[in-house]
Copies of this chain bind each other. A is one copy, B any other.
Amino acid sequence: MKHLKLEDRTCYDGSQIQPMWAFKTFGIKDSSIISWMGPMKIEPNHLVDFEDVGLEIKGNNMLHFIVEHFDVQPANINMCYHRQRILVMIIKDILNDFGIRTSRKGDDLYIKKSSSKNDKIGKLSVSIATCSISSMKIHFALNLTEKGTPKDVETAGLFECGLINEDICIITEKICKNYIIEIESITEDISKTKVF
């Protein structure tokens, strides 16, 4: 499984969740996790979450991860959502190490935003998982800033929490590395386990 870090600010418009995007765009013939910073504005015809129909899904600057797995054949959306949860929990853990305490509900991360007036819970992330018959795909993105996020949702951003660009780079590397190691360690565990 390969990690590719994009340097340009690609806009996540939903087309990147399609199977084989990594091969068609970057020629990657393997499972992969691709990370980059950039805006998000999902086009309606690329919407994968039927619950989001009619909603605006956007942000001016987000940290994106696109995962594609070919190791499970046929692809299995149940497995894919399990891996999404593992990815989210790895991210929650690493943010915690950087002093960002989040709470998690399913595949969403939230931050408590305290002010003089009141406490609010800000949504920090968006995520979806999906499948074709031959590949499993995950998109996970963290708001770097609250700017440009939907007005009808209380959101939170990592920059507003005090992180800086250098932190984001380190966090990104850690997330991708830990996720790849996690999936590989499972294969190793299988090879030493007695079954019935």
Contacts and interface: CB of A to CB of B under 8 A. Distances in A.
Interface residues of A, number: 59
B71 A74 contact: no
Given A50-B23, A74-B133, A106 B185 contact: yes
A75 B53 CA distance: 24
B20 A77 contact: no
Interface string A181-196: 0100111111111111
Contacts of A57: none
Contacts of A50: 20, 23-24, 192-194
Count of this chain's copies in the oligomeric assembly: 6
Contacts of A83: 82
Interface of A: 18-20, 22-24, 28-30, 47-51, 53, 70-79, 81-83, 85-86, 89-90, 92-93, 96, 104, 106-107, 128-135, 182, 185-196
Grouping DSSP codes into helix (H, G, I), strand (E, B) and loop, the A interface class, with mixed when no group exceeds half, is: mixed
Contacts of A93: 89, 92, 104
24 contacts: A18-B196, A20-B191, A23-B50, A23-B191, A29-B191, A29-B192, A30-B188, A47-B194, A49-B193, A50-B193, A51-B192, A71-B187, A73-B78, A74-B75, A75-B133, A77-B193, A77-B195, A79-B82, A82-B82, A106-B182, A106-B185, A131-B133, A133-B133, A133-B195
